[in-house]
Amino acid sequence: MIEKQSDNFNNLEGNVSEEVNKNDDSSKIENQVSEDKQSPDVDDENIYAEDLKNTITNNDARLEQLEKEHETLKSQYVRIAADFDNFRKRQSRDQDDLKVQLVSKALTAILPIVDNFERARQQLKPESEEAQTLHRSYQGLYKQLVEVLKQQGVSPMRVVAQQFDPKLHEAVLREPSQEFHEDIITEELQRGYHLEGKVLRHALVKVSMGPGQQNSQQPEEKDKVEEDIDSENSISEDN
């Protein structure tokens, strides 16, 4: 009886020992499995971190490239905008110049009519009532024409007693003058006109040469002639 109990006890110890061994093996296997599971996770994290680092580096490089492209495009835009602004201003100036040229051409063709009106006004001296009525009508047309020219920016030059300027005047005659100094305009032969500050037509003028030698020598020549006459009379009386 005691032997059987001893055998049972031994068997129980053996079972317990085997169970303990099994538990130890199971723990080792679980630890191994756990380590095997953790090892891929660590590798995945390293790979993910490396990929993230590469992505950030690539994004930084791309951002730098885009910034350079932006600066290049911005410079091109500024240059194109400046070129367009210059083109617009140049076109505006060209249009203004063309407009002035066309207006100048048209007004220059009208100026001879104005000249004829002025000549007629100076020459005509109406005496009868009918002639005076016609003259007033004629003068009314002349004033309307002058007013239209004034509205277009045309203004006459005032040249008499002014210094001769080849940019404004055209000298037709030059003659000695006791009244005016040299290069002073003595007479207006054809009126000149400005258009918006520019010369529309040069004035035809007569220019002074100053006191001439002929005028300054006239008294001396007169005295000489009188002396000759006196001398001849003396000779005649002696004879």
Q: Is the pLDDT of residue 196 over 70?
A: yes
Q: Where are the alpha helices (DSSP H) in the chain?
A: 2-123, 129-151, 213-238
pLDDT digits (tens, 9 = 90+) for 14-66: 554 555 455 555 555 555 545 554 455 566 677 777 778 888 888 888 888 88
| 116-147 burial code (b ≥16 CB/10 A, e <16) | ebeeeeeeeeeeeeeeeeeeeeeeeebeeeee
CB of 121 closer than 8 Å to CB of 141: no
In this prediction the pTM is 0.54
**Residues counted in the chain:** 239
End-to-end CA, the chain: 220
Listing from the earlier edge strand, what are the strands of the sheet with 193-195?
A: 154-156, 193-195, 198-201
pLDDT digits (tens, 9 = 90+) for 121-156: 777 777 777 777 877 887 888 888 889 999 988 999
Domains annotated for the chain, with CATH where assigned, are 106-125+135-212 (2.30.22.10)
pLDDT of residue 11: 52
The mean pLDDT value for 89-101 works out to 87
Confidence of residue 203 (pLDDT cuts 50, 70, 90): very high
The mean pLDDT value for 164-181 works out to 91
CA–CA separation, 197 vs 207, rounded Å?
24
Higher pLDDT, 151 or 238: 151
CA–CA separation, 153 vs 103, rounded Å?
10
DSSP state of 148: H
Listing from the earlier edge strand, what are the strands of the sheet with 185-190?
A: 169-175, 203-208, 185-190
